[in-house]
A and B are shown apart, each in its own frame.
Chain A
Amino acid sequence: MSDLSRVDKIVADYKEQKTPLIYILKDVQAEYGHLNDEVLTNVAKATNIPLSEVYGVATFYSLFTTEQKGKHIVRCCNNAPCHVKKSKDVLNKIKEYLGIEVGETTPDNVFTLEFTSCLGLCAVAPVMMIDDEVYGNLTPEKAVAILKDYKLKGVSNA
Chain B
Amino acid sequence: MKNLADLRKIKEKAKMEMASREKNVKYRVVVAMGTCGIAAGARNVMSALVDEIGTRSLKNTVITQTGCLGYCDQEPLVQVFEQGRPCITYGKVTPEVARKIVADHIVGNKVLSDYVFKQN
Q: Footprint of B on A, CB under 8 Å? A: 119-121, 123-124, 127, 134-137, 157-158
For the complex of A and B, the 5 pairs showing the least CB-CB separation, nearest first, are A123-B72, A136-B39, A134-B39, A123-B73, A121-B36
Tell whether B89 is near chain A: CB-to-CB under 8 Å. Answer: no
Q: By the criterion CB–CB under 8 Å, are B35 and A121 in contact?
A: yes
B interface secondary structure, majority = helix
Name which residue of chain B comes closest to A123, CB basis.
B72
Query: Measured between C-beta atoms, what is the minimum distance from B41 to chain A in Å?
Result: 6
CB distance from A131 to the nearest CB of B (A): 14
CB of B41 within 8 A of CB of A158, answer yes
Complex Cα spacing A15 to B22, Å = 47
Max chain B CB contacts within 10 Å: which of A123, A134, A135? A123
A-B contacts counted at CB < 8 A amount to 32
Q: Does the CB pair A157–B36 fall under 8 Å?
A: no
**A134:B72 contact, CB within 8 angstroms:** no
CB pair A123 B41 closer than 8 Å: no
Additional 5 contacts, C-beta under 8 A, given A124-B72, A127-B39, A136-B36: A123-B73, A124-B73, A124-B75, A157-B38, A158-B41
Nearest B residue to A119 via CB reads: B35
Cα(A155)–Cα(B59), bound, Å: 32
30 intermolecular pairs with C-beta atoms under 8 Å apart: A119-B35, A120-B35, A121-B35, A121-B36, A121-B39, A121-B72, A123-B36, A123-B71, A123-B72, A123-B73, A124-B36, A124-B39, A124-B40, A124-B72, A124-B73, A124-B75, A127-B39, A134-B35, A134-B38, A134-B39, A136-B36, A136-B39, A136-B40, A137-B39, A137-B40, A157-B38, A157-B41, A157-B43, A157-B44, A158-B41
Q: Of all chain B residues, which has the CB nearest A138? A: B39
Which of B35, B39, B75 has the largest number of chain A CB atoms within 10 A?
B39
In the complex, A147 Cα to B94 Cα: how many Å? Answer: 20
Cα separation A119 to B38 with both chains bound (whole Å): 13
**Residue of chain A at shortest CB distance from B73:** A123
Which residues does chain A contribute within 8 Å of B36, judged by CB atoms? 121, 123-124, 136
Q: Roughly how many angstroms separate A135 CA and B36 CA in the complex, as a whole number?
A: 9
Max chain B C-beta neighbours (<10 A), residue from A120, A127, A135, A136:
A136
Q: What is the bound-complex CA distance between A158 and B35, given in angstroms?
A: 13
Query: In angstroms, how far is the closest chain A Cβ from the Cβ of B61?
Result: 24
Minimal Cβ-Cβ distance residue in B for A129:
B39
